[in-house]
Every structure is written in structure tokens, then in C-alpha cells.
Amino acid sequence: MTDKPRPDAEELEPTLDEVAPEENEETAGTDDAETDDNVVEIDEVARLQLELDEHRDRLLRTVAEMENLRKRTRREVVDSRRFAQADLLRPLLEVLDNFDRALEHAPDEDSAQTFHEGVTMIAQSFRQVLLDRGVKIIEAEGEEFDPARHEAVGQAPANDDVEAGSVLAVVQTGYTLDDMVLRASRVIVAQ
């Protein structure tokens, strides 16, 4: 026997390319195709997730806008009712003022007593209707002058009871509807 060098075990093992070159190429192509498909699927999932997030964000914004619209509409309806009511009530205040003037200047004779009582009852009834509708008198006498609630029609020297800058006397009563001034009190302010 001749001594030939024996090949190493590594040399004896055929390479994958030698055994099944076609199979190896197909497998490599499949791996690349699977990888490409996976990347495409991941990209598609990411795109769909992004689209879903955008739609969800738009939906939430739309819901918030609708809620804000409902609140604003409610406020506007309440305000428009108040303003409509105020427009109705302002002229009625003049009627009430006329009743008060009539009561101040009515004769004190016995025959006038019946007139006086009748006008007093009408004025009380009228005041009650206004109170029932939310109209309130602005209390002004002795209070600090507030240009939002009082209209100064004159000034007079302050006395011991009233400090300077306060309302000394009320010339014409003012009224509010809830927190809205229907008519400012016309007042004389102490100097």
C-alpha cells in the first residue's frame, strides 16, 4: 500500500453548494423573499397603525369640538333668552316708575285714599311680577359708588352717615336681571 496522505474530515464533507446547488439557490431566494415580505408586512402594519392613529386623533378632536359647540350653543341660548327678557322688561320699569310718581303726588283727601290704595296694589302686583321673573332692585343708598351699577346724576357734600365716594341718595331705582344690569340706579354721590 502506498502511503497517500489522508484527506482531513473537513475536506471529505461536501459543501452545501456541491450537494444541492439548486436547492441552496432556491432556499437563498426564499429567505430573501420572506425577508422582503416581512419588511413589506411590517411597513404595511406601521402605515396602517399610523393611519389608525390619525383617524383616532381626528375622531377625538371632532368629539371635543362637538362638546364645545354644545356648551357654546347652550350659553348662547341662555344669553339670548336673558337679552330678550331684558328688552321686554326695560320698558315695564318705566311704567313702574310712573306708578311710584303717582303715589308720591296723589292727594291725601279721603276720596283720594281709594285711588292711593288701588295704585299701591297695582304697584305691588307689578313688582311681584318683576321679582318672579328674576328682576331685583339695585340697593344703592349708602353703598360705595359703582359705575357698573350706578349712574351719577349729581354730587353733594358728604354727611356723617355717608362717606365721600358713596351714594348719598337714589334719584331713580336701578334693576338687575340675574347678574345683568337692566338699568343702572341714578344716584347722587357724596363728595
Task: Answer whether residue 53 is part of any domain.
Answer: no
- Show the domain range for 185: 137-191
73, part of any domain: no
pTM score of the predicted model: 0.51
Q: Are 128 and 134 in contact (CB under 8 A)?
A: no
Say if 129 falls within a structural domain: no
Q: Could you tell me if residue 185 is inside a domain?
A: yes
Predicted pLDDT at 115: 76
Cα distance between residue 44 and residue 48, in whole Å = 6
What is the tens place of the pLDDT at every residue in 23-45? 444 454 555 656 777 777 888 88
Split at pLDDT 50, 70, 90, the class of 14 is: low
Instruction: Please give the grid coordinates belonging to residue 80.
Output: 339670548
- The Cα–Cα gap between 80 and 86 comes to 10
- What's the number of domains the chain is made of? 1
In angstroms, the first-to-last Cα distance of the chain is 141
Give the CATH number, domain containing residue 186: 2.30.22.10
Q: Does 49 fall in a domain? A: no
Shortest CA distance to 184 belongs to which of 173, 174, 170, 172?
174
* 152 belongs to a structural domain: yes
Domain membership flag for residue 170: yes
Residue 92: per-residue pLDDT? 81
Judge whether 143 lies within some domain.
yes
